[in-house]
Amino acid sequence: MTFIPSSHLTHAELSPTPELVADARQVVSSLRLERVVTAAVEPAPSIHFEDYPREMVKQEIQVSAAAARIANALHLHLD
């Protein structure tokens, strides 16, 4: 009798569905726990102005003529 190894499990060799679901939940919760632990030991971001010395440029929003007409019709004045 020759044994041929197979990389795929047959249906009979798989764990019951509730056990597979429990395993998946355990993996997800451990990944969440790793993220929480990492976030807990990281230093908080600085609130000091000197750590952010440059002024951030504001993005300009352009409103098309059609959007302005719709806003004016709805009494949402975009000046």
Q: What is the pLDDT of residues 13-27, one digit of tens each?
A: 667 788 878 888 888
User: Domain range spanning residue 25?
Assistant: 15-46
Q: Identify which of 57, 56, 58, 77 has the alpha carbon closest to the alpha carbon of residue 67.
A: 77
Q: How many domains does the chain have?
A: 1
Q: Which residue has the tokens 């019709």?
A: 73
Asked if the structure places residue 76 within a domain, the reply is no
28 found inside a domain: yes
The set of residues, in sequence order, having a beta carbon less than 8 Å from that of 63 and lying 6+ positions away, is 71, 78
Query: Where residue 66 falls among pLDDT bands split at 50, 70, 90?
Result: very high
- Is 9 inside any structural domain? no
Q: What is the pTM of this model?
A: 0.32
Q: Tokens for 69, please give them.
A: 């007409």
Q: Which residues contact 23 (CB under 8 A, 6 or more apart)?
A: 15
Q: Is residue 1 part of a domain?
A: no
**Tokens in use for 28?**
């997800």
Q: Do the Cβ atoms of 52 and 67 come closer than 8 Å?
A: no
